[in-house]
Amino acid sequence: MKKIFTTLLAFGGIALLMLASCKKDEVKVVANVGKVGALSSSTTSPALSKPNAANDAITFNWAATPVTGYNAPITYTIQLDVKGNNFKNAREVSTDKLTQALKVGALNDMLTALKLSYDSPSQVEVRIKSSAAPNLAATYSNVITLTVLPYQGTGYIYVPGAYQGWDPKTADSLTSPNNDGVYDGYIGFPVGKLEFKLTPKKVWDVAYGDAGSGKISTTGGNLSVPAAGYYALHAVIDQNDKTKGTFTATPVFWSIIGDATPGGWGTDTDMLYDATTKTWSVTAALIGGKDIKFRFNHSWDLNLGGTPGALTPGGANYTITTGGTYKIVLNANANTFTITKL
């Protein structure tokens, strides 16, 4: 019996050794990741403009990264950086697919983050980074070079002229909310200082002038308004030929209106613009116990009401306590006015 027990113990020990040997020789399945396939793009010069922000700007395609052994999931990352920067400051977009479209707005945001010029085209490089796991080395595709010109959220064109000393650096500007070549703004011109030009930058390297019949061109002479005053300026630059466009200058004004004024609520009493102080003024006989408001361009679309120190669009009427002749001075930029009994 003792011999049988000893034999069983020996047999069990051998079995345990065999089991341990099997565990030690277990075959481990690992992922072998190859290099990401060739990258291609639908264009190398994507057109970017704010009105098309929701449209596709460019589509990238690439071949799958080959994986053998363990089927590890692959993450692909589009990397974009300034040409020659070796992707040190790359903007990135990740996906698990083999194609990726970038919207105009999204691509423009990436380019803006890289602080590229809005005035002249730049070159950027794009590649695909392929990775299967944090402990595995990433692989990279070929590099594609793109030529790009990002747009500003709002476009500007500057108006240097006699009214401010012909200096583009300090000139007033017209704005284009959609940066689509359509610019609007308001500028006051004093007596004898009516001429000006339009410049896309705050320098004189390109300037638009009068080409006749409401047209402007980069070879035209000085533009001008017919008389001193405050004007709504409207310029449209031809997007197919940016050396030309169209231009209008329309006189606009502030006025007082109300049952305290000479014209009542039916007729505006216009104010005069002072281009030096950038204020509007009028002297008028006003009726005590009655009200006034300020209107822009004889329209209720923009009207100001409230107290002398705090006017607001669509604000309350201002009541004239005592009748008499008053001088009223409006600072529409600061939304304030003064009223002085003469």
pLDDT in tens, 116-174: 998 899 999 999 998 876 666 788 999 999 999 998 888 899 999 999 999 999 999 99
Overall pTM > 0.85? no
Residue 29 has pLDDT above 60, yes or no: no
Tokens of 120: 């002249």
Residue 194 has pLDDT above 90, yes or no: yes
- Tell me what pLDDT residue 71 has: 62
Least confident of 7-16, 80-89, 106-115, 117-126: 7-16
Write down all domains in the chain, each with its CATH number in brackets.
31-148 (2.60.40.10), 155-251 (2.60.40.3620), 254-341 (2.60.40.3620)
Contacting residues for 22 by C-beta, under 8 A, at least 6 apart: none
b/e code 107-133 from CB counts within 10 Å (16+ = b): bbebbeebebeeeeebebbbbbbbbbe
Is residue 208 within 8 Å of residue 201, measured between CB atoms?
no
- Tell me what pLDDT residue 18 has: 44
- Tell me what pLDDT residue 9 has: 41
CA angle 148, 150, 152 (to 5 degrees): 170
What whole-number distance in Å separates Cα of residue 169 and Cα of residue 150?
23
Least confident of 131-135, 235-239, 320-324, 326-330: 131-135
Reported as a single tens digit per residue, the pLDDT across 228-277 is 999 999 999 998 899 999 999 999 999 999 999 999 999 999 999 998 88
Q: Which amino acid is at 74?
A: I
Query: In the block, which residue shows the tokens 């204020």?
Result: 279
- Tell me what pLDDT residue 252 has: 94
- Tell me what pLDDT residue 283 has: 97
Least confident of 17-21, 178-182, 196-200, 226-230: 17-21
